[in-house]
Amino acid sequence: MSKHGKKYTAVKKKVLVEKLYTVEEALQFIKDNPTAEFNETIEVALRMGVDSTKSDQAIRSTVALPNGTGKDVRVIVFATGAAAEAARAAGAVEAGFEDLLAKVTGGWMDFDIVVATPDAMKEVRKLGKVLGPRGLMPNPKTGTVTDDTATAVKQFKAGRVEFRMDKNGNIIVPFGKLSFTVEALAENFRAVYDAILAAKPASTKGIYIKRCTVSSTMGPGLHLDVKDTAAA
């Protein structure tokens, strides 16, 4: 018995399996063939041609989406004094130190991004078992360890997203909503793609991006022509 519903199955049949779609073709197809009643998230999944077991080939960075993410990004900040006040003023849902550490340790996880000042990191690292598996541990490479907490909060709320390669060599990045125009989605997609190209480890040999697929939350994936995306 299929785990997918009738809508998914019907849309899947329309996907040309052997075809490599251009970015615009794929996005137009997804918009024309919704598979859920809600405003689905659109995401890209990339199969990377790097050795995910080697630390010098890790891929992790952030990218500012020109048209935002279409969702309310909840940012928390581990900081004290003026840095905590600035974070709250910039729109952080929570900003603090000992109380916030205790809250997260106790199981509270209603947030999407974690920012911390360098001073706070000694204690925040102790949350590794909680934040690490979810990809939420602050990292200087992604701009989430900083003294300028206000700027970090504003950027992430405005549409800066983090991406990282998992242990299987895949990168999955959400880059908009079904309600966005094809043009806005394509612009966001190319920002993500360019950022992943820019994050290429110096030690990588051979094919860097093996496969690139876009899909909606509940929909089937469409393979993209990587040459098309690179040239765009």
Q: Residues 83, 101: one domain?
A: yes
Q: Is residue 166 part of a domain?
A: yes
Q: How far apart are CA 207 and CA 205, in angstroms?
A: 7
Q: Residues 122, 165: one domain?
A: no
Q: Residues 64, 165: one domain?
A: yes
- pTM (2 decimals)? 0.78
Query: Comparing C-alpha atoms, which of 155, 154, 81 is closest to residue 120?
Result: 81
pLDDT in tens, 211-225: 999 999 999 999 999
pLDDT at 228: 56
Q: Is residue 38 part of a domain?
A: yes
Mean per-residue pLDDT of the chain: 92
Q: How far apart are CA 220 and CA 51, in angstroms?
A: 27
pLDDT in tens, 5-42: 888 899 999 998 889 999 999 999 999 999 999 999 99
pLDDT at 204: 86
Q: Residues 24, 49: one domain?
A: yes
2 against 5, higher pLDDT: 5
* Position 58 pLDDT exceeds 80: yes
Q: What is the CATH number of the domain that holds 79?
A: 3.40.50.790
Q: Is residue 214 part of a domain?
A: yes
- Based on the structure, what is the number of domains in the chain? 2
Q: Is residue 118 part of a domain?
A: yes
Q: Residues 127, 139: one domain?
A: yes
Q: What is the CATH number of the domain that holds 185?
A: 3.30.190.20
Q: How far apart are CA 76 and CA 97, in angstroms?
A: 10
What band does 230 get if pLDDT is binned at 50, 70 and 90?
A: low
pLDDT in tens, 102-138: 999 999 999 999 999 999 999 999 999 999 888 899 9
pLDDT at 2: 46
CA dihedral 11, 17, 20, 25 (to 10 degrees): -10
pLDDT at 3: 64
pLDDT at 142: 86
Percent of the chain with pLDDT over 90: 75
pLDDT in tens, 61-113: 999 999 999 888 999 999 999 999 999 999 999 999 999 999 999 999 999 99
Domain assignment of residue 171, given as a range: 6-68+161-231
Q: How far apart are CA 78 and CA 101, in angstroms?
A: 8
